[in-house]
Structure 1
Amino acid sequence: MLPEGSEEVEDAVRSVLRDVLGISQERVDAFAATTPLFGALPELDSMAVAGVLTELEDRLGIIIEDDEVDGEMLETFGALSRFAMAKALG
């Protein structure tokens, strides 16, 4: 069972990826928890990562510290969503 608000956070993550990376809604809707992100999506380069994190902060009202950002967090859609949920729903 997912915590209350988790669907909204996942929707926000999808929306941020769509907007920042310029990918289609259909493509982002097809992302599963195991969908690889960094290194698999050509649109998600190091500059785009900064945009994604900044936009997540703005939309979810969270603060992401530099030491919290690592490759595991960006490895899959599920990992990024879980990170965002932990920050937003804490």
Structure 2
Amino acid sequence: MNVAAHVKDILINVIQISDETEFDDDTPLLGAIAEFDSMAIVNVITTIEETFGVEIDDDEISADVFEDFGSLVEFVKQHVE
């Protein structure tokens, strides 16, 4: 399973940005994408849970998780693998 590709698809769909948007580990998220607000974060977490069949506790969520694409992918991998 390509976790990064799934996370990219989730971000594109939730924050409704172009599917041609490139993401690498250093691509900033929180504060860098105008559409990526608190409601988008909730929707991303919910979609991650549904897509990967995992449960994420509220106390696990922090700004560090959403600092950049790489940190979000790593967070998801910790829950999936």
Q: Which has the higher helix share?
A: 1
> Which bin holds the TM-score, normalised by the shorter protein?
over 0.9
Alignment of 1:16-55 (within 5 A): 16-27=10-21, 30-55=22-47
Match of 2:68 in 1: 76
**Structure 1 ranges of 4+ moved more than 3 A:** none
Match of 1:88 in 2: 80
TM-fit CA distance, 1:9? 1.1
Structure 1, unaligned stretches of length 5 or more?
none
TM-score (norm 1): 0.87
How many residue pairs are counted as aligned between the two chains? 81
What is the identity percentage for the equivalent residue pairs of Structure 1 and Structure 2? Answer: 38
TM-score (norm 2): 0.96
Matched residues in 2 for 1:21 and 1:47: separation? 10
